[in-house]
Structure 1
Amino acid sequence: MKQLFTGTLGLLLAFATPAQDHPADPQATTETVNLYRNLKKLAGQGILFGHQDDLAYGVGWKYVEGKSDIKEVTGDYPAVYGWDLGGLEVNSPNNLDGIPFKKMRQYIREGYERGGVITISWHARSPLGKEKGAWDTTHGTVASILPGGDSHILYKEWLDKIAGFLLSLKGSKGELIPVLFRPYHELTGNWFWWCRNTCTDFEFQTLWRFTYYYLQQEKKVHNLLYVYNTSGDFKTKAEFLQRYPGDEMVDVLSFDAYQYEDPQKNDWFEKNTYQLLKQVTELGKEKNKLTAFSETGYEAIPYANWWTQTLLNAIGDNPISYVLVWRNHGYAAWNKKMHYYAPYKGQTSEADFIKFYQLDRTLFEKEVAAKKLYSDL
């Protein structure tokens, strides 16, 4: 297989290592460079709080202008807005969670114009056409879309659509909106077609490097900060970096981990997450990268003090840039229970979340807007 990629990899390996205070993309837009540098300045001073799909819907509502479960509880929006492009690659008008891409573009602009930060993941469907979508685990899927593979042209067509959307994200002055781009998230898991049980480390690294090359060099997308994101199943720094594509193609080191056990009876999540974040933030310091806890949460948050007594303890003194909790879907027909990860008015953990919000260390939109993250201060 390696022989097939020699030409492309030769180009990819020719990328110079980014300057110490510059994103991986040497041609990153001014606003993207400023966001990168300002997030670095903030690291250790405060943690931006993020929420997936925050503006689109919440528990008991959908598509209400200006509404947000976070804002209903605190009077403020989250500092980071998470979105997902799954479905765009197959021309769906809505993403995999049902959000119309036209509305998503509008919400992204609104959050950015208020001073918030945008992060985007991509639950891409299986390029082999499997019905399981991103959750297809057919071995060889990644190999099929690499240079020389049977589905390589299809993959480039997908990237053309992703690039088109990313280049359509513009602020009021016509500037491109910076995005923390988190493709192939949870890459060390075993549930997506790009995970370690479906492709070799070399194949995954080649996928990342080609994606990076194609978006930048072929499609001229220069408003991205690239987020390397594993699942929370690594034990050592070496394991975390096992599929790492290289410092010259990554801006943020991160992983995802969720609470499943009752934290009042089992403190494993708290202790394990702290140790994993310690390793990642140490790597961030060594490699001069931003770090993040890019997905977490406790479904339906049944523990009233989870925010200040569990999540904050799990983060501890680790100087991450942001933490993002998953979406507030509401009642889920697939498992016949409530599926949400942030509090809403009247929810069990509402009072504790207000305490969490009021801490100097946690940053929400009003605070980050005042810091003008997209300006060269």
Structure 2
Amino acid sequence: MFKKTGIFILLFFIIISAFSQTASAHTVNPVNPNAQMTTKELTNWLAHLPNRTENRILSGAFGGYTNATFSMTEANRIKNAIGQSPAVYACDYSRGWLESGNITDAIDYSCNSDLISHWKSGGIPQISMHLPNPAFQSGHYKTQISNSQYQKILDSSTTEGKRLDAILSKIADGLQQLKNEGVPVLFRPLHEMNGEWFWWGLTEYNKKDSQRISLYKQLYQKIYHYMTDTRGLDNLIWVYAPDANREFKTDFYPGSSYVDIVGLDAYFSDPYSIKGYDELTALNKPFAFTEVGPPTTNGIVGSLDYSQFINAIKQKYPKTIYFLAWDDEWSPVANKGASSLYNDSWTLNKGEVWQGSSLTPIVE
């Protein structure tokens, strides 16, 4: 009898040990090894959303540019129209078009108070930046620069490099406020780099520039090391987001040690024809639609059916963990199918992320 009991106990501990090792193997950690515990838990939770049968895609909306258009208006508009609030709510810290005597005037993080409230009430903030161009005194976020100018921006000993460093310092001050409140952030720097409209991206339509791509990677990595190593911001979940309507979506990828989530900024008339999903998911990172909306060039604005978008996600892009719809005329409530999008059984809205003080259970 003792032998049988001893064998049973031994087998029990072997099973428990094997289960623990399997569970540990499935844990997805942030790229920052020193990430705060809440950020670690959230990163792992996000990565496991596609394992669920429902409640597996976080809804999202853009709230505007801080100190210009940002407010909770878009969240309230969605809530009033369809009875749901977006789980992810985005603020842009930078009005890169602002002309002023000091380039850092374009940086503002006064949206933080609303983002903190959003987190504490069961949501997640995303932050992006339409950065001013350090090659100039201020503004010029859409002014193209040469590769030699780009190199000067990367060099902290130059005037251009000092401007970049000042910009990054002020952005970090804003992120520090969120860290102090224990708020993890979906941080999306230097988006749509494969397009030709921002100073940090390409200069010609779908024309590959290997030097430019290398300079972009250096810039992204510099931002990562400054925020992570110099400023100790351990609350950031790093998001890499090329444009869906341009080539070279993964060429700019700064490396798996610098990215937690890959995504696409996608403006489309046919959600079944979005390009880049297979390329991005092949990088073996959680995937998101980091900006979505109808295009402004073909008269689709105001008539896009967002119910088709959620159906396309189910059928063609099932690894998606969140989507973030743009505001104003691109908003789901300014188009069609908003209720179907936010009320679908696959969609998680604010209030469905947390159960008390814990994230809703991971389902394997």
TM-score relative to the length of structure 2: 0.77
CA 1:175–1:64 in structure 2 vs 1: closer, same or farther (change >3 Å)?
closer
Structure 1 distance, partners of 2:57, 2:335, is 23
Is the 8 Å Cα contact of residues 55 and 68 (structure 1) preserved in structure 2?
no
Question: Which amino acid is 2:90 matched to?
Answer: G
Q: 1:246 to 1:360 in 2, by over 3 A?
A: same
Are the equivalent residues in 1 in contact too, given 2:84–2:342 (CA < 8 A)? no
Residue equivalent to 1:158? 167
Contact 2:129–2:190 under 8 Å retained in 1: yes
Distance, in Å, in 2 between the alignment partners of 1:376 and 1:311 is 23
8 Å CA contact 1:169, 1:177 repeated in 2? yes
Cα gap change, 1:258/1:66 in structure 2, threshold over 3 Å: closer, same or farther? closer
Look up the SS of the partner of 2:240 in the other structure: strand
Alignment: residue pair count: 315
Q: Identify which of 51, 58, 78 aligns with 2:61.
A: 51
Find the aligned partners of 1:191 and 1:80 in 2 and give their Cα distance. Answer: 26
One-letter amino acid of the counterpart of residue 184, structure 2: P
Superposition map of 1:114-263 within 5 A: 114-129=121-136, 133-140=140-147, 141-147=149-155, 150=158, 151-170=160-179, 174-197=180-203, 200-234=212-246, 239-259=248-268, 263=269
* Distance of 1:251 and 1:153 partners within structure 2: 28
Secondary structure at the counterpart of residue 230 of structure 1 = coil
1:14 is matched with: none
Asked whether the 8 Å contact 2:134–2:161 carries over to 1, the reply is no
Unmatched tracts of structure 2, length 5 or more? 1-25, 97-101, 205-210
CA contact (8 A) 2:62 2:324 kept: yes
Residue aligned with 1:156, SS: helix
User: What's the CA shift string for 1:222-244, capped at 9, x where partnerless?
Assistant: 11111111111355xxx322111
Q: Does 1:76 align with 2:77?
A: no
CA 1:282–1:129 in structure 2 vs 1: closer, same or farther (change >3 Å)? same
Query: How far has the Cα of 1:359 moved from its partner?
Result: 1.5
Output the CA distance in 2 between the equivalents of 1:348 and 1:340.
7
- Residue equivalent to 2:23: none
Q: Is residue 2:293 matched to residue 1:297?
A: yes
**1:206 partner amino acid:** Q
Residue in structure 2 matched with residue 325 of structure 1 by the alignment: 325
Deviation at 1:296, TM superposition (A): 1.0
Distance 1:64 1:220, change over 3 A: closer
Structure 1 position 176, deviation (Å): 2.7
On the 8 A contact 1:51/1:342 being kept in 2, the answer is no
Q: In structure 2, what residue type is equivalent to 1:75?
A: G
The answer as to whether partners of 2:217 and 2:252 remain within 8 angstroms in 1 is yes
Kindly provide the amino acid, as one letter, of the partner of residue 62 in structure 2: Q
Change (3 A) 1:243 1:282: closer
Partner of residue 107, structure 1: 114
Q: Aligned partners of 1:283, 1:63: CA distance in 2, in Å?
A: 34
Q: Contact 1:116–1:368 at 8 Å: present in 2 too?
A: yes
Moved more, 196-205 or 242-251: 196-205
Worse overlay, 145-154 or 367-376? 367-376
**Is 2:360 aligned against 1:370?**
no
How many angstroms does 1:326 deviate by? Answer: 0.8
Query: For residues 19-66 of structure 1, what are the alpha-carbon distances to aligned partners after superposition, in whole Å with 9 as ceiling and x for unaligned?
Result: 962101111111111110110121353111110007999xxx985799
Give secondary structure in 1 for the equivalent of 2:271.
helix
Whether contact under 8 Å (1:55, 1:66) holds in the other structure is no
Aligned residue for 1:15?
Answer: none
Question: Are the aligned partners of 1:31 and 1:374 in contact in 2 as well (CA < 8 Å)?
Answer: no
Paired with 1:357 and 1:308, the residues of 2 have a C-alpha distance of 9
Residue 341 of structure 1 aligns with which residue? 331
Please report how far the alpha carbon of residue 310 of structure 1 lies from its aligned counterpart in structure 2 after TM superposition: 4.1
- For residue 21 of structure 1, what is the aligned residue in structure 2? 28
SS at match of 2:351: helix
Kept in 1, the 8 Å contact 2:74–2:327? The answer is no
> CA–CA distance in 1 between the matches of 2:119 and 2:182?
10
| TM-score, normalisation: structure 1 | 0.74
Distance 1:136 1:32 in 2: 35
Range moving further from structure 2, 108-117 or 292-301: 292-301
Cα distance in structure 1, aligned partners of 2:355 and 2:277:
28
Aligned partners of 2:308, 2:72: CA distance in 1, in Å? 32
Alpha carbon RMSD of aligned pairs, Å? 3.1
Greater C-alpha Rg: 2
Which stretch of structure 1 is more off in the superposition, 215-224 or 366-375? 366-375
SS for the counterpart of 2:59 is strand
| Aligned-residue offset at 1:321 | 0.9
CA distance in 1, matches of 2:44, 2:214: 31
Larger RCO (CA under 8 A, 6+ residues apart): 1
Deviation, structure 1 residue 78? 0.1
Question: Does the alignment pair 1:90 with 2:103?
Answer: yes
Structure-2 change in CA distance of 1:279 and 1:312 (3 Å): farther
Report the AA paired with residue 247 of structure 1: S
Identity %: 25
